[in-house]
Amino acid sequence: GYFVARESPALTAFLEAQIEDRIRRARAVAERLVGLGTPVDMDTLIARAEGRPVLRPHIAQALVSAGHAADEQDAFDRFVGEGRPAYVARKGSTPSEVVAIIRRAGGVSSMAHPGVTRRDDLIPQLAADGLNALEVYHTDHDADETARYLAMARHLGLAVTGGSDFHGFRSKHSNGFGTIQLPAADFAALRRLAPCF
């Protein structure tokens, strides 16, 4: 969501529920790790998060610190990656519900990195449900994907966004920081969709 009103009650309630679900998920991962003989101190991780979500990269770091994994990639490969023995799926709102929450918060919704999620089947219905934009420019999109998503956005009447998916300098996308540029005309079109800007 871009240009959201941060004080929106709908957005606040949604974000609080997301944090609670991340904590639930983290505790469920911790239980599985205990069963695997690779425990981590989840209470300390949650306390250090100070109300922010506890994510799998945090758990991977804890596995490394506890001596259960050689590095974060090893932790994902053996324990917390999708399909691995300590993986716990997220629960949450549907994409259409998230689009509606962003709209109620006065924001502009964009589907992130469709070339990564591979859920092109969702895009037409999300557009019909009020999706505003599609992330066309992304570090994981090659030239063909960029062209395909640009054409799809234009066909569906969606604005265009872009991003590096930067999650910190230790993430797999750290090399993309600052490398993705949204054309000025696309940024101007995106900004026109925001009622408060």
**Beta bridge pairs of residue 108:** 2
Backbone angles phi, psi at 41, to 5 degrees: -85, 85
Residues in Cβ contact with 124 at an 8 Å cutoff, skipping those fewer than 6 apart:
156
How large is the average pLDDT for residues 102-121? 91
pLDDT in tens, 5-49: 888 998 999 988 988 898 999 999 999 999 999 999 999 999 998
* Mean pLDDT, rounded, of the chain: 90
Using CA atoms, how far apart are residues 83 and 96, in angstroms rounded to an integer? 26
Determine if residue 8 is left, alpha or beta; phi over 0 gives left, psi from -120 to 50 gives alpha, anything else beta. beta
Using CA atoms, how far apart are residues 110 and 62, in angstroms rounded to an integer? 32
> Quick one: pLDDT at residue 166?
66
